[in-house]
Chains A and B, each alone.
Chain A
Amino acid sequence: MLSAAEWQTIAISLKVAGTAVAGILPPGVAVAWLMARHDFRGKALLDGVLHLPLVLPPVVVGYLLLLALGRQGWLGHWLDRLFGITLPFTWQGAAVAGGVMAFPLLVRAVRLSLEAVDVKLEAAASTLGAGRWRVFFTITLPLAFPGLVTGSLLAFARALSEFGATITFAANIPGQTRTLPLALYTLIQTPGREAAAARLCALSIAIAMLSLLVSEWLARRARHRLQERDG
């Protein structure tokens, strides 16, 4: 039904988006917790910086990534020298671009759900002998789980559809960094490939619908479990 090239595109897309979400989940939850539970100097500034990828043109983000993580970049230079890691023009680079673009969406969703967790329950847990980490992993995180699922799916969808930052930072290399949106863009640019473009377009819609359904199913399951508990 699908050609080998199409399968490859899907595989790259899922790999890139999955890696992006897995990579930003731990720091995303940490930052969300910091924002939800603490007041500190420069919180408003940090909040602004976190939201930058949402309001900047993606190409600008890609270009900044290139400046920072390129082989000559201040961070990329060290990554190359110390670990032999090169990010630009690799699928890992595409994952970084997707992760950076998806980060604010993840943090936002997780932060909202963390804020909804009653701090009185956390205080009760601490009087029962639970230290900070135990309180977080046994009380805070489980109660914020629905928000974590929503945030992850949102971030996944965002990373999957990432175009501007990806093409700037990771380029459009067939079999390596050519994700679904990049492949579609390439086909549109090629005369006579309208049919193939249409197929990819349909594929994009199918994947988007599928992730929506999965997210809806997970959310319904979480709600159902809570309802069971409400009797």
Chain B
Amino acid sequence: MPNANHDGLHLDIRKRQGAFLTEAALSTPGRGVTALFGPSGSGKTTLLRLIAGLDRPDAGVVRLGDETLSDARTGRHVPPHRRRLGVVFQEARLFPHYRVRGNLTYGMPAGGAANFDDLVALLGIGKLLERFPATLSGGEARRVAIGRALLSQPRLLLMDEPLTGLDGARKQELLHYIARLTRRIDIPVIYVSHDPEELVSIADRLVLLDQGRVLTAGPLDEVLTRLEFSDALGGFDAVSLLTARLEAHDTAYGLTRLRLADGQPLVVPAIDRRPGDSVRLRVPVRDITLALGTPAPTSDLNRLEVVIERIARSTTDAATVDVGLRLGEARLRARLTRHACHALGLREGMAAIAVVRNITPAAG
């Protein structure tokens, strides 16, 4: 990222907490959603607290743009209330003695009321303004917490697993709000999660953490197709991502037509977005069949011309291989049986047809 050090976040820190050592360096760009992903105990929340200024690093620096927020060597430590960073905590942490309105305006700077109504509408919390937090559902409370953080006009939004503890339907609903929101606001977002589903929906970049260290970092679709991180990606290996532009709705068949960046068409079950929108699609790795030459007609809707980029044996299942595919600038992963791979004589560099049995828009 060329502008990473300019208006983005840069940190290079060490922090010991009991037996647990976090030692991480990362830079994020000044826009978009960067996800910190890893199992619990991987240091995600530690990093978030260091960025927010709630903890001090033992060594190293935290910088936002040109401003040094923490520097262990000089002892500089800007306190949380002077950092102008919005934090959405795992639990909503609403103030119980203020109404929703009071919570929302608590951190609002003077003259910051201009986007109050907009944001309230965007988060769907207009009807809750005069209620007290104890009367809100979990999902409503999280939405208010997000609104409260954003109304403080932060330079960066930190979200610490904001969907934790919500049931399936509530989770989907809030995910939808967050996804919509992150497309609208123009401040960078750091999103901490251990749930692949959330990240596929909203992240632009992924930082993979394990045991207090950064394994890798990069654009989400790129990291998703990196075969060597299959283990660390955990549930992630189940999908890869494609981004396509919506062309038209086919109401007669209840379908939506899209086009990939390299010009290849896609058809998916009707989705609720407008023509011209950029749509993020998830493709489960087990739902791709590879064919050499044009396969006989099948009932599958989507066939993509791809180039086999890499073939790697799965680290967890000896009977399968992970195949990295390339279509223009985009990448996909397919999981085949090792037997099929040998029978077809697949090799890196070969052209093939990927028959995609299942492709769905990511939530949000």
What are 24 A-B pairs with beta-carbon distances under 8 A? Answer: A120-B89, A120-B91, A123-B54, A124-B95, A126-B79, A126-B81, A127-B83, A127-B152, A128-B81, A128-B149, A128-B152, A129-B84, A129-B152, A130-B81, A135-B81, A138-B106, A226-B96, A229-B97, A229-B132, A229-B133, A230-B134, A230-B135, A231-B132, A231-B135
Collect the chain B residues with CB atoms within 8 Å of residue A123's CB.
54, 80, 93
CB distance from B155 to the nearest CB of A (A): 12
Question: B87 touching A124 by the CB < 8 A rule?
Answer: yes
Given contacts A123-B54, A124-B89, contact A229 B80 (CB under 8 A): no
Question: A127 touching B134 by the CB < 8 A rule?
Answer: no
Within 8 A of B (CB), among A52-109: none
In this complex, what residue of A is CB-closest to B90? Answer: A120
CB distance from A149 to the nearest CB of B (A): 15
Collect the chain A residues with CB atoms within 8 Å of residue B8's CB.
none
In the complex, whether A125 has a CB less than 8 A from a CB of chain B is yes
CB distance from A147 to the nearest CB of B (A): 14
CB distance from A119 to the nearest CB of B (A): 10
In the complex, whether B14 has a CB less than 8 A from a CB of chain A is no
CB distance from B358 to the nearest CB of A (A): 41
* Bound CA–CA A146/B235 (angstroms): 48
* Bound CA–CA A200/B71 (angstroms): 68
Interface string of A113-155 (1 = CB under 8 A from B): 0000000110111111111000100110011000000000000
* Bound CA–CA A231/B132 (angstroms): 8
In this complex, what residue of A is CB-closest to B109? Answer: A129
- Please give 12 more A-B residue pairs, beta carbons under 8 A apart, in addition to A125-B106, A129-B107, A230-B135: A121-B93, A121-B95, A123-B54, A127-B80, A127-B81, A127-B87, A128-B107, A130-B107, A142-B97, A143-B97, A229-B133, A231-B135
In the complex, whether B148 has a CB less than 8 A from a CB of chain A is yes
**Interface size in chain A (residues, C-beta < 8 A):** 21
CB distance from A123 to the nearest CB of B (A): 6
Collect the chain B residues with CB atoms within 8 Å of residue A229's CB.
96-97, 132-135
Question: A143 touching B80 by the CB < 8 A rule?
Answer: no
Question: A131 touching B96 by the CB < 8 A rule?
Answer: no
Within 8 A of A (CB), among B73-105: 79-87, 89, 91, 93, 95-97
Collect the chain B residues with CB atoms within 8 Å of residue A138's CB.
106
Given contacts A123-B80, A230-B135, contact A128 B106 (CB under 8 A): yes
Question: A128 touching B148 by the CB < 8 A rule?
Answer: yes
* Bound CA–CA A124/B106 (angstroms): 11
Given contacts A229-B134, A229-B135, A231-B135, contact A124 B93 (CB under 8 A): yes
**Interface size in chain B (residues, C-beta < 8 A):** 27
* Bound CA–CA A230/B132 (angstroms): 8
In the complex, whether A39 has a CB less than 8 A from a CB of chain B is no
Collect the chain B residues with CB atoms within 8 Å of residue A228's CB.
132
* Bound CA–CA A231/B96 (angstroms): 12
Collect the chain A residues with CB atoms within 8 Å of residue B54's CB.
123, 126-127
* Bound CA–CA A123/B91 (angstroms): 12
Partner of B81, one of A121, A129, A231: A129
* Bound CA–CA A125/B96 (angstroms): 12
CB distance from A116 to the nearest CB of B (A): 12
Given contacts A126-B80, A127-B52, A129-B107, contact A139 B134 (CB under 8 A): no
Collect the chain A residues with CB atoms within 8 Å of residue B97's CB.
142-143, 229
In this complex, what residue of B is CB-closest to A143? Answer: B97
Collect the chain A residues with CB atoms within 8 Å of residue B91's CB.
120
Within 8 A of A (CB), among B130-159: 132-135, 148-149, 152
CB distance from A205 to the nearest CB of B (A): 36
* Bound CA–CA A226/B133 (angstroms): 11
CB distance from B180 to the nearest CB of A (A): 23
* Bound CA–CA A123/B54 (angstroms): 7
In this complex, what residue of A is CB-closest to B133? Answer: A229
Task: From B81, B83, B87, B132, name the one whose CB has the most chain A CB atoms within 10 angstroms.
Answer: B81
* Bound CA–CA A228/B130 (angstroms): 13
Collect the chain A residues with CB atoms within 8 Å of residue B82's CB.
129
CB distance from B334 to the nearest CB of A (A): 43
Collect the chain B residues with CB atoms within 8 Å of residue A135's CB.
81
* Bound CA–CA A138/B81 (angstroms): 14
Task: From A127, A129, A130, A231, name the one whose CB has the most chain B CB atoms within 10 angstroms.
Answer: A127
Collect the chain A residues with CB atoms within 8 Å of residue B83's CB.
127
Given contacts A127-B52, A131-B81, contact A120 B93 (CB under 8 A): yes
Question: A130 touching B135 by the CB < 8 A rule?
Answer: no
* Bound CA–CA A128/B133 (angstroms): 17
Collect the chain B residues with CB atoms within 8 Å of residue A226's CB.
96
